[in-house]
Structures are given as structure tokens and as C-alpha cells.
Structure 1
Amino acid sequence: MKVITTSIQTWQAKLAGLLLLSTPLINACTDPSDIGLALDPEANRIGVFYAEIPLSAYLVSTDSLNTTNPGTLVAGGDISDYFGETEATAYSRMAFSTSATKPESDAILDSAKFSLDIRSLTAEDLDEAKSFSAHKLTEPILDTTYYNFDHLAFGETPFAAGSFMLEENSDTIVFMNLDETLATDLFTKIKDEDPVFDDIFSFRDYFPGFALKGSPAQQTTIHVTPGTDTGFKLYYRNSEEDTVSSVYTIFTSSSRHFNGVTNNPTGTPTEIVTEKNKAYDVGTLVGSKALLGHMVKLDMEPLSNFLDTVDNVVFNSAILSMGPTENFPDSKLPIQGLIQYFTDDTNKILRREEDGAPYSIQLGIAPQTTTDENGNVVPAVTSGGTNPLAFNTEDYIYGPPPLPRSGITDYVDALYRTDVMRTDLLLYPGTVSLSGSNVVTNSNFTRSLREYIVNQNSITLKIYYSKLR
């Protein structure tokens, strides 16, 4: 027996020369030579077969999306024909340094600002100013877990508000004037060494924190980084003779924070999504929106059916792709990566029993399976990490990351050759980046309102394989 192991490019060139037509596989159980490119075994000198498997997708709203301390304050929102009206509000405590130099008793307050360290945004109509406001909380942020559906009470009148001209793909720090009464009270307490500033717990009793808001009608969401550049800045001089102001900062570094979201999907395809962890058929278009908690679930039964029809084969390439994405403004770049987690009828991410590690398609040549203490074949969790789908900014298609561009070949091969469980896939929004030759993925589900929408007809698994002879 001989296995042909030429490259995909070589196969494609030779196949194109045969002028053969492909037909999609829809739960068919036929001989491999009749699936996809119908290659006549006698004429197929290169021994390569091709199957294109369309996949169905559903929308799942995850239950209890933990947004505690995501490292980004998400504020603003948008209105769309698909997801409806969505608004994100960021909540955060504040802190100060007990070793910071304080203004002297006779110091003069020059100005007081509330600053935001905006690292990125999603927006439309950036030729218009965008307005945001900060409101004092009227209830504390507790040492507990907060979820995307959680909200806290805050004052109706903001202590700081401002409108800004923003630019896409640029970090910026913006400043709002601090309410004069609050600024004066803060500055006086600092100068007088009021017990409010004895420790962080006393300060939280005085100022529990803030809620940062925007308006969905502006079609703009900002992603603010907690730190020394997000918070109060009190500029002062210790005497009339001082020519340069000093600054006392009350910041958000290491401060507990979370993001809450509200959504009104009335009149949209997603309005039928009313229960958590239930798969909904929402029609031709399917998509995901971070922070809202919507994920795409892929029904992988067609792949399972296909694997049951082939015998004595070697898989040379298996590429899962979706897209192109539906139209979007340049300043509203879609979700950049999708982590392929395993799921079943529970519509939740499947996890390893002993430590809760999530099961997913593994990257590159990392082991896809292992055996448990009872000798059963189970999915592997490796240090190499998960194998994501990456967003290609040139063709707007989700597919294998640039390096290594092996797709899910090893995963398909493992399903074929072992008794590992066959599952569906939950596509979890994340970020995908390269570190040397390694692909790095990070969750992005709680740090933005980014989204993507694709046509179900564009979700395909393309497989090249060879028959052993």
C-alpha cells in the first residue's frame, strides 16, 4: 500500500487540471469516491479525494458570564438589526496611595479632572463627538463575583461628563471636568488629613466607586484600562508663588471592577433567544456578541456521518472556515478570534472532571487525545493550548491562524482513529496573536461588545484525504 503525501497546493493544481466539479456532502453515507470531487479510482492517479461538508449553526446565550475584574472597563453600546439595542456599563472602585505626597494645608486647587485611559473602541460616525459620563455609586461593590447581567445603583446626576472626538486604532487619554462640589470636598479632606483618607476601607465608605456610561444611540463603545491614568486628578499649588501645579491622583489600579450589559432584541432574529444554554435556530444569519454572552454552536454531526463512510484513509488536510462576515464599518472590527470548545446537548463548555480544564481542539501537532485512569480515550488538554479560528482582515473569513496553518486535521484524524467522544463545537470569542511560532489565545468575551455575523451557507469543512492502497 502507498500513501500519497503531496502538498495541498500541488493537489489543488492537479485537481484543477482535471476540471472536476465538487458537490457538497449533506449527511451522505456513500463511498468516498462519490463524495465531494467524484474522482474515478482508475483515473485518480494522485490518489487524493476531497469532501466539502456544510455545517449548521445555532445561537446559544451562555449562563452566568463572569465579568469580575476583566482588566477592561466597557462603556457605551450600539443598535443593530441583528442584536437589537445593547448597552454596556462599567463599574469600578477607586484607590489611592497612602505614601503619596499630599497637598499642604494652605494649598490651592487649580483644577480637578476625571480621566479615562481609552485603549480601543468600536464605533460608527467618528466624525461626530462621543459623550460619556461617570456617576457615583450609591451601593458598594462587594467582594463577590459579578456577572454580565449584574448592575448597581448610582446617582442620576454625573460627577463628570464630556464629549470627545475619538479615532480608531489609537490609544488616548481623555479628561472630564470633575463636579466642583465633589472636587472641593475631596481636596479639603486630603489637605485636612480627614479619616476618609486613613485607609482604603474608609475611603470606600465615603466614595463607593463609579459607573461609567455612554449611549447606544451613539453607536460607540470604549474599552478603558483601569490604572493610574483612569481616575481623579487634582491639580494644585502649595502657595501662590508656585508656578507649576502638582497632582494628587485617586486611581483605579488594582481596584475591583466589572461590566454589566442590557439588551433589547425586539424585532430582530435574536429576540427568540430567551433561555440560557439553549441552542436556537435563528435563520440564515448567525453570529456572536461579546459581553452579551451570545455564542455560535456548530452542529458537527455531518462530520461524524462522513467519518463513518470512509475506510482505510489518511487525512491530509481539514480546514474549517466561516465567512466572509457581513458588512461592518472599519472602526467596528469584528471579534478577532474564536476558541473551538467542545459541547453537547447541555450547550455548555465540556470540562475535565478533576480540574475543570475546558476541552477544545488542540493546536497543531499537539496530542488530541489521551487515556484516563480507566483506559478510556478522552480529549487532551495540552500546554500547547487550544486551536482557534482567526479572523483574516483581508478576506474577512474565520479560518486557521497563520502559523501553523494546519487547520483541524489532527482533530479529524483523532475522531476517525480513536473512540474519543464526538462533540459539537462552541465558538468562544477571544483574541488570537502570535508569539514567535506559538499561537496565543485570550478570552475577549467580557472585555468588549465586539461582534460578528456570518451566513450559515458559508460555514464549511473542507477535507483532503488519501486512500491506502
Structure 2
Amino acid sequence: MDKQTHLYKSGLALLLVPFFFACDDPSNLGLQVDERENEFQTEKVEFTLPVSTIGIDSLRTEHFSASLVGKYSDPITGTVEAISYNSYGINGGQLPDQGDSLQFSRAFIRMKIFDSRLNQPLTGESLSIHLAEDTLYSRAVYLADRAIPYDPEPIATFTYDFNPEIDTVLEIPLSDDFGRFLFTRLDRVTNPGGDYADSLTRSLYYYDPLVFVPGADNQGILGFDLASDTSAIYVEMVNSQGTESYYTFDFREAHYNQLNRDRSTGQLNDLSTEYTPSANTGDYSYVDMIAGVYTKVALQPLLDFVELNPEVIVNNSVIELNAITPGSSYIDNLERLQYYFLLDNGRINGPGGQTAASGQYAMLTEGSYLSSGTDVLNAVVDNQLRYRSNITLFSQVLFNNFSNEEDYLTEELVLLSPRTLSLDQTTLVNSEVKLTLYYTSIK
């Protein structure tokens, strides 16, 4: 945050911001000053910023209440397979009390679907569920390339169809053996003595995490909302009158996604080294979080201008990115993009953007530069498929860096989505990545 403080040292800069902040026409400032006595001039300059597409393989997948399952092949980014690892624990419901007639009926999983990636409604998709052979830890950081061994014998195999226009829940039947295993743990609680009550209610029982594995020929990826009340394992019981009751185990425990990427099947098949730009992008650049594909934006045209015009006050600075309509009607553009700094080590620091020092790693909102806040700037796509953001104070920081003979806060930006497991994807038009600068200088 030290570099940001230089913005506040420029009293003239802050004095003039209210005059010029929203001025689009430099000739119409409304200043009633005799032009012969006006020592300032206002001008506008527009830059086309160079952009490229890079690959970054490391992606955290455990810190949101989302999990992905499926497989999808994209002509640009290649093929992604999503395997889901999920711990589970007790939620609540009806227990088989001593002396009643509750008997095990069946067990199944319901998962609330919040998003999907596909080209058309899915038919004949397959899914198997296995028991993991290792523990998941709630405070560990799990990256997308992490694999955990699991029992090859599934506790469930399932074939399903999915239409995103009408389907919101996936119900998966579990084997009777696994269902009876869970029922036995519930039944022990209320057997004579109730010796296992604490083990259940205090989560002292250990349950092997579940691994959701998609079929090899699947054509789509589903996103499950693990925080939803719907997403749970259901143990169904019936009494002698045939009345059904349930006990549920939820998925609000440790979880993560393994993402197996194969870029060789797509246009970006030369993204073999992290942060090295692809030579196959043509007129476009791409942001696809689960594929590990990001857009890099160079600020060099602006920095060249800074070094030729150091004594400048930034009145207004706007960056605009223009996207195209996705190739599938079932896929949306990313709702928000954030601008992360390429650091001296040639990499971004994603976790750093979520800390109190976020201004060292990512572009902040205008208010944060004035107040030493930590709100990372979000560029939201509009109905014209534009990501348009005011970056006036960030631009002024760059001028101040040069004037103070300091390294620039950054010279390159990497675009990413704050939703790391988003199934959306964005294609940007390279020639339409613009930065427009309105500034005041001394005549």
C-alpha cells in the first residue's frame, strides 16, 4: 500500500479531480476564466492496449460452496474434466427411535444445480460415486491439479438427462449397502444405552469423502451448490404404516475440485508454459477460469505517454473491453472481471487480492485509493457486452510512480473472474481493448 500513498501527496491532483472527474468534453468545462489567464489546458488521448492469452494452471477450488462435475470439450480452450471431492456430515431429521417401526427404505443424493456448461440439452450422461481413500482438510488449500485416490468400486452409478431450461436438481440413487451403513449409524444412537449419540451429534464418526466421477463420454459440466438446503444425502425410512421420514447429511464440510485439462484438443494447444502467450489467438483473447485460460493486458502505451508527459493531472480515465456473444446459447459471458497485477516474478498473486494488502496485487475501486481501502475493482459486463471501468485514480498512481522515480505499481494486468469455478467464459476483441484518458497539463 506504500505506493498508493503518493496519490495523496499531490494536493493539486485531488483539488482538480472534482472539476474534471466526469468531464467527457475537454472544451466544455464550464470554467468562467479569461482564456489569456488560463494556465491550464485539457486534452484527451485514447490508447489501444495490447492483449494476449496466457495459461495459468494453479487454481484454488475449495474456498467457495460450489462443486463441478462433468466433462466438456471446447474448440478454443480444449477439454476439461471436473471430478468433485466432498466430505459430508450430519444435518438432521428423523432418527429411528427405540421401539418404533422405522426401517431402512433407500438412500439417495440430491444436488442443487446452480450453473452448467453445455452446447445443447444433455442425454445419456453418466456419473459414478466412489469412496475416497484419504481425508479432506477444511483449512488446506486445494489446487485444481490435486488428485486423491478412491475405491474403484462405486457406491452409485447413474445415467441422466439434463435440460438447463427446466432442470434444477439432480437426484442420484445410492447402493443399498451404503444406505444401510448410514442407517446403522443412526440406529445405534437410539439403541438401548444410546452409546453412540455423542459420536453422531458431535461428528465424531468418520465418513469417507465421496468422489463424483463423470463418464468418459460426457458432453457437459454441472455446477452443484453445496450450501443449498437441497444438496444432501437422504436416508429414507418407512414405518409399519408406510409413512416415509428422512435423515440428511449435508455437504458443508471440506470439498474441492480436480480439473483435468487437455488443451491439445483446442485452438490454444500451444499454451504449454504458464504465462507464455499463445500465438494462435488471432483477433481475440479469452478468459475461461476452469480451463486455466486468461487474458493479459499490457499498459505500455499508457506508460510511454506517462514518461513523455510526467506533469499531468488525470481528470478521467476509463478502460473498456468489448466481448462477443458466446458460441453456445447455453453459455454466458463472465459477469465480472478483475484486474490483477503481473508482479516482478512474472506471476499474479490471486490470494493476495483477498488480503488487507490487496492494492499491491490488484486494481482497486476509486474509493479505495482515496481511503486506503481494500475493495478490488469489478468490471461488470453490460447488455452491450462491454466491461467498462473508471480507473482514474489508478492511472494517477502510475503518473505519481514515475514522478517519484519508483517502479510502476504494475506494467501488465491479468483478467480473471472472482468466481474461480465459474462455468461462464468470455471472448474479448483485441482491437477493442481501449483506455481513454482525459488530463490537464500546464501550458
Q: Deviations over 1:141-173 (max 9, x none)?
A: 3334321011223335451524244335x8933
Map 1:337-356 onto structure 2 (within 5 A): 337-344=336-343, 346-349=345-348
The reply to whether residue 150 of structure 1 matches residue 151 of structure 2 is: no
Match of 1:118 in 2: 113
Structure 1 pair 294/324, CA: closer, same or farther in 2 (3 Å)? closer
- The whole-number CA distance in structure 1 between the counterparts of 2:79 and 2:250 is 31
What is the distance in 1 between the residues matched to 2:217 and 2:374? 39
**1:416 aligns to 2:399 (yes or no):** yes
Is 1:84 aligned to residue 70 of structure 2? no
Match of 1:234 in 2: 235
- Which residue is 1:208 aligned to? 209
Q: Residue 383 of structure 1 aligns to a residue in which SS?
A: coil
SS at match of 1:147: coil
Aligned-partner residue type, residue 389 of structure 1: A
Match of 1:390 in 2: 380
TM-score by length of 2: 0.78
1:462 deviation in Å?
Answer: 1.5
Report the Cα offset of residue 67 of structure 1.
2.0
Rounded Cα–Cα distance in structure 1 between residues aligned with 2:411 and 2:246: 55
1:191 matches 2:191:
no
1:14-65 per-residue CA deviation (whole Å, 9 max, x = no partner) reads 79xxxxxxxxxxxxxxxxxxxxxxxxx99xxx95422221112233333532
- C-alpha contact (below 8 Å) 1:337/1:391 kept by paired residues: yes
Q: Percent identity?
A: 15
How many Å separate the matches in 2 of 1:78 and 1:312? 52
Tell me whether 1:250 sits opposite 2:249 in the alignment. Answer: yes
| Number of aligned residues | 402
Task: Choose from 154, 159, 162 the match for 2:156.
Answer: 159
Say if 2:285 and 2:427, in contact at 8 Å, map to a contact too.
yes
The secondary structure found in structure 2 opposite 1:73 is strand
The 3 A distance-change label for structure 1 pair 391 and 12 is farther
SS at match of 2:89: coil
- Match among 252, 272, 275 for residue 273 of structure 2: 275
- Work out whether residues 20 and 316 of structure 2, in 8 Å CA contact, stay in contact via their aligned partners in 1: no
**Match of residue 258 from structure 2:** 260
Unpaired segments ≥5 residues, structure 2: 1-11, 30-34
Q: How does 1:229-378 map to 2 (within 5 A)?
A: 229-237=230-238, 239-241=239-241, 244-253=243-252, 255-284=253-282, 285-310=284-309, 312-344=311-343, 346-349=345-348, 357=358, 358-367=360-369
Q: Distance in 1 between matches of 2:296 and 2:229?
A: 40
What TM-score, normalized by structure 1, do the two folds share? 0.74
**Greater helix share, structure number:** 2
Aligned 8 A contact 1:114 1:160 in 2: no
**Aligned: 1:61 with 2:55:** yes
2:66·2:223 contact (CA, 8 Å) conserved in 1?
Answer: no
One-letter amino acid of the structure 2 residue matched with residue 181 of structure 1: D
Residue 458 of structure 1 is matched in structure 2 by 432
Rounded to whole Å, the distance in 1 between the matches of 2:357 and 2:310 is 35
Q: Distance in 2 between matches of 1:210 and 1:201?
A: 21
Q: Distance in 2 between matches of 1:117 and 1:181?
A: 25
Deviations 1:389-411 (A, max 9, x none): 2222x1112222xxxxxx11111
Residue 426 of structure 1 deviates from its aligned partner by 3.4
Provide Cα deviations, 1:417-461, integer angstroms capped at 9, x if missing partner: 34353223433433xxxxxxxxxxxx311x233321223212111
Q: CA 1:462/1:233 → structure 2, altered by over 3 Å: closer, same or farther?
A: same
The whole-number CA distance in structure 2 between the counterparts of 1:59 and 1:91 is 30
How far residue 416 of structure 1 moved from its aligned partner, in angstroms, is 1.4
Correspondence for 2:419 among 440, 444, 469: 444
> 1:108 is matched with which residue: 103, 120, 133?
103
Q: 1:173 to 1:227 in 2, by over 3 A?
A: same
Pick the aligned partner of 1:74 from 68, 76, 79. Answer: 68
Structure 2 residue corresponding to 1:182, chosen from 178, 191, 215: 178
Deviation per CA, 1:45-96: give whole Å up to 9, x if none. x954222211122333335322224221112232111101111111101111
Aligned residue identity for 1:456: N
Give, as a single letter, the amino acid of the residue that structure 2 aligns with 1:334: N
Deviates more, 1:138-147 or 1:343-352: 343-352
Q: How does 1:395-406 map to 2 (within 5 A)?
A: 395-400=384-389
Gaps of 5+ in 1: 16-40, 369-379, 401-406, 431-442
- Separation in structure 1 between the aligned mates of residue 102 and residue 72 of structure 2, nearest angstrom: 44
Aligned partners of 1:317 and 1:464 also within 8 Å: yes
Residue 182 of structure 1 and its aligned partner are, at CA, apart by: 2.4
TM-aligned CA distance change 1:56 to 1:72, over 3 Å: same
**Would the alpha carbon gap of residues 141 and 130 (structure 1) be closer, same or farther in structure 2, given more than 3 Å must change?**
farther
Report deviation, 1:247. 0.3
Change (3 A) 1:69 1:448: same
Code of the residue aligned with 1:71 in structure 2: it is S
The answer for the alignment partner of 1:436 in structure 2 is: none
Task: State the 1:271 CA deviation.
Answer: 1.7
State the one-letter code of the partner of 2:384.
Answer: D
Q: CA-atom RMSD, angstroms?
A: 3.7
Task: Give the direction of change, closer, same or farther, for the CA distance of 1:217–1:183 in structure 2 (3 Å limit).
Answer: closer
C-alpha displacement at 1:119, in angstroms? 2.2
Amino acid at match of 2:111: L
Change (3 A) 1:460 1:281: farther
Query: Residues 171 and 390 of structure 1: is their aligned pair in 2 closer, same or farther, counting only changes over 3 Å?
Result: farther
Residue of structure 1 in register with 2:25 after alignment = 11
